[in-house]
Amino acid sequence: MKVISQNTAFGGMQGVYTHPSQACAGEMTFAVFVPPQAITRPCPVVWYLSGLTCTHANVMDKGEYRRMAAELGLIIICPDTSPRGENVADELTNWQMGKGAGFYLDATQTPWAEHYQMYTYVTEELPAFISQHFKVDMNRQAIFGHSMGGHGAMTIALKNPDRFKSCSAFAPIVAPSSADWSVGAFEKYLGTDTAAWRRYDACALVEDGARFPEFLIDQGAADGFLEKGLRPWLFEEAIRDTGIGLTLRMQERYDHSYYFISTFMDDHLRWHAERLA
Q: What is the DSSP letter of 124?
A: I
CA–CA separation, 177 and 105 (whole Å): 13
CA–CA separation, 168 and 32 (whole Å): 19
Question: Is 147 marked active-site?
Answer: yes
Q: List, in order, residues 6 or more apart from 138 with CB less than 8 Å away.
A: 45, 127, 131
Q: One-letter amino acid identity for 276?
A: L
**Is the peptide bond between 111 and the residue preceding it cis, with omega within 30 degrees of 0?**
yes
- Catalytic residue, chosen from 80, 90, 201, 223, is 223
**Backbone torsions φ then ψ of 82, nearest 5 degrees:** -170, 165
157 SS3 class: helix
Sign of CA dihedral 128, 134, 139, 142: negative
Question: Is 223 marked active-site?
Answer: yes
CA–CA separation, 248 and 246 (whole Å): 6
Order across the sheet with 245-251: list the strands.
2-9, 12-21, 26-34, 75-79, 43-49, 136-146, 164-170, 214-220, 245-251
Question: Is 80 marked active-site?
Answer: no
- Catalytic residue, chosen from 151, 256, 268, 272, is 256
- Catalytic residue, chosen from 147, 166, 168, 182, is 147
Nearest to 212 by CA among 269, 256, 154, 276: 154
Annotated active-site positions, please?
Answer: 147, 223, 256
